[in-house]
Amino acid sequence: MASDISPSLKRPTARRKDPACGTCRKKCRKCDRKRPICDRCRTRGLHCEGYPPRFQFCETVTAPVPSASPSGSLVAPEAPTKASTVDSISSQASLSPDHALRNFTTSGSPPPSSPAYSPSSCLAGAPDFNQDISSNRRLIEYFDQFLSEYLTIHVQGTNNPFREHVLPLVYQHQSILHALLGLSACHMHISGRNESQHFVTISLQYRVSALHSLGALLLQEEATGLTNSEEECVLGTVLLLVLHDVCETGISSHGTHLTGVAFLCKRLACPADFSTRSKASMFFISALSWLDMLRGFSGAEKLAYSGDVRKCVRDHGSLSLHALVGCPPVLFHRIGQVLEAGKSYLAGDLSIDQFQELLTKAEKFFRGWDPDLAIYPTGHKEWRHLAEAYRHACLLRVLRFPDAFVISCDDSRIKASVTAIFDVSGADTSSPHQMHYASWCIGEIKHATGFQHPAMTEILTKVWEERGTHLNGWYNVPWMEFITLRHVPTC
């Protein structure tokens, strides 16, 4: 009974506060624990050494070095077939319980406050960095030869931007190296190429290490600034972390990092000297702003990147976005304007009349846009078909504003767009045949890429089931209801 509990057991247990900063600990003085820099150090003009990580693993796992000495090149001169190479990677990267584990603080990248931290240890040439490269050669080759093919549109005449821009940085900075290793291990496990639970451990620990290194770089950016290469490394690390989440669950838990580098994307997109803007930085800006637009597509309030960034992506001549996902930059920019207006409307900064006027103009633009006048990355006719799919997807999103429940999925305008792209966007369909075909296409994508897309599958299932029940007379249930975690009213 409660009355039998002694008074000493009833007293609340004192909670341990966050540790003091490194400088205050050394001087044995009270710290106000302000982040990222202690105010006591700031007011006294002292260098604040920062705080130790709030959590860290005691050990890290790396894939063992293959028996043969690793080659310095990414692809062997006589590359074996993909199937045999995958089997080789899976078997040689698997771990045994007897595999020696190294201390996490030496292989990871602890923040600057840690006594073990050394900026040079995160760069090419440092012993720990070189060991990470050599002991994980197989995971790097897996990303190069297989995984990178599934992350972008692959047609003859275009370069793979992940090979061109991500892999060189892997050999320069630890944060993007560990982010890549975590993603590769995750995909190898999720795709069924190797179902060993050791790959789950590898994936998790390298992701945490990448986050530590990313935090160190962002602290450095605030204190002293970053080099051009380090800026690209920050953006590339965030991109791989988000893709890691997409691979694992289909839902990104690193959306805060996507938002957190919005300032850096804007700075690189709008530099004082445009000659300093590299192809790599434009690729990362395009990819990250696309991911930001996708989450804004599900809920306009989630949009974080500025219109200047999307304008830069539209006007940039290298077609980075178009070659990556197949969406013409002009469509990307225009739907971004709609989502930005939707965000302002939801915040109360735009009246319903102003928003409706903008929607009317946007619908007119998308209906009148001629795909034959667009410039495509290559001469393949499939680019035009994909552009048409994106155009109708944008139309569907415009029609769902300002109230997603107003226009039914049986509306002729909705049906016209769904009929044009039902093998790409089956969420708004009400036809059993189209539902089946959309599910079949998604199954083919899962099988071909290894990405299981559980979140997308769950959303489609919930939408179609809800429409089939007609609960409380609801015949039109928009898919956005399940994205934004709202539920159909029950009264």
Residues 112 and 40 in one domain: no
pLDDT of residue 65: 34
Residues 166 and 60 in one domain: yes
Confidence of residue 407 (pLDDT cuts 50, 70, 90): confident
Confidence of residue 366 (pLDDT cuts 50, 70, 90): very high
Cα-based torsion angle of the residue sequence 63, 67, 73, 79 in order, rounded to the nearest 10 degrees: -100
pTM exceeds 0.75 for this model: no
Residues 144 and 61 in one domain: yes
Q: What's the rounded Cα separation, in Å, for the pair 153 and 321?
A: 11
Confidence of residue 253 (pLDDT cuts 50, 70, 90): low
Long-range contacts of 443-451 (CB under 8 A, 24+ apart): 448/150, 449/150, 449/191, 450/150, 450/187, 450/190, 450/191, 450/192, 450/193, 451/150, 451/187, 451/190, 451/191, 451/246, 451/247
Contact 22, 49 (CB under 8 A): yes
- Which of 203, 232, 260 is at the close of a domain? 260
Q: What's the rounded Cα separation, in Å, for the pair 349 and 428?
A: 29
Is 211 domain-assigned? Answer: yes
Q: 3-class DSSP state for residue 142?
A: helix
Confidence of residue 209 (pLDDT cuts 50, 70, 90): very high
Q: What's the rounded Cα separation, in Å, for the pair 285 and 239?
A: 10
pLDDT in tens, 294-352: 888 888 988 999 999 999 999 886 678 888 888 999 999 999 999 999 999 999 999 99
Residues 35 and 177 in one domain: no
Residues 222 and 236 in one domain: yes
Q: Is the pLDDT of residue 107 over 60?
A: no
Q: 3-class DSSP state for residue 173?
A: strand
- Cα–Cα separations (whole angstroms), residue 122 to 144, 233, 290, 417, 448: 22, 12, 29, 50, 35
pLDDT of residue 181: 95
CATH number of residue 37's parent domain? 4.10.240.10
Residues 141 and 241 in one domain: yes
Residues 130 and 234 in one domain: yes
Query: Which stretch of 95-99, 175-179, 254-258, 286-290 has the lowest confidence by average pLDDT?
Result: 95-99
Q: What's the rounded Cα separation, in Å, for the pair 77 and 62?
A: 26
If one counts every other C-beta atom within 10 angstroms of the C-beta of residue 147, the result is 23
Residues 465 and 483 in one domain: yes
Contact 427, 460 (CB under 8 A): yes
Q: 3-class DSSP state for residue 123?
A: strand
Structural domains of the chain, count: 3
Q: Of 277, 280, 368, 282, which Cα lies nearest the Cα of 329?
A: 282
- Which of 207, 239, 260 is at the close of a domain? 260
Residues 59 and 41 in one domain: no
Residues 61 and 32 in one domain: no
**Domain limits for position 40:** 18-51
- Cα–Cα separations (whole angstroms), residue 466 to 219, 298, 412, 421, 430: 47, 18, 21, 22, 11
Is 426 domain-assigned? Answer: yes
Our measurement of the distance from residue 376's CA atom to the centroid of its chain's CA atoms, rounded to an integer in Å, reads 25
Q: Which two tokens stand for residue 403?
A: 């109230």
Confidence of residue 430 (pLDDT cuts 50, 70, 90): low
Residues 105 and 228 in one domain: yes
Is 132 domain-assigned? Answer: yes
- Which of 260, 290, 322 is at the close of a domain? 260
Q: What's the rounded Cα separation, in Å, for the pair 50 and 219?
A: 9
| Burial grade of 61 (CB within 10 A; 0-12, 13-18, 19 or more) | buried
Q: What's the rounded Cα separation, in Å, for the pair 27 and 263?
A: 35
Is 408 domain-assigned? Answer: no
Is 165 domain-assigned? Answer: yes
Contact 242, 252 (CB under 8 A): yes
pLDDT of residue 490: 30
Is 376 domain-assigned? Answer: no
If one counts every other C-beta atom within 10 angstroms of the C-beta of residue 311, the result is 16
Is 273 domain-assigned? Answer: no
Write the DSSP assignment of 275-297 as a string of letters: GG--HHHHHHHHHHHHHHHHHHH
pLDDT in tens, 220-237: 998 999 999 999 999 999
Write the DSSP assignment of 297-323 as a string of letters: HH-GGG--S-HHHHHHHHH-TT-HHHH
Residues 253 and 106 in one domain: yes
Confidence of residue 455 (pLDDT cuts 50, 70, 90): low
pLDDT of residue 129: 84
Radius of gyration of the chain (CA): 25
Q: Which two tokens stand for residue 57?
A: 């693993």
Contact 39, 32 (CB under 8 A): yes
Beta bridge partners of 59: 103
Average pLDDT (158-177) is 92
Handedness of CA 438, 439, 443, 449 (dihedral sign): positive
Is 105 domain-assigned? Answer: yes
Q: Of 478, 314, 328, 335, which Cα lies nearest the Cα of 409?
A: 478
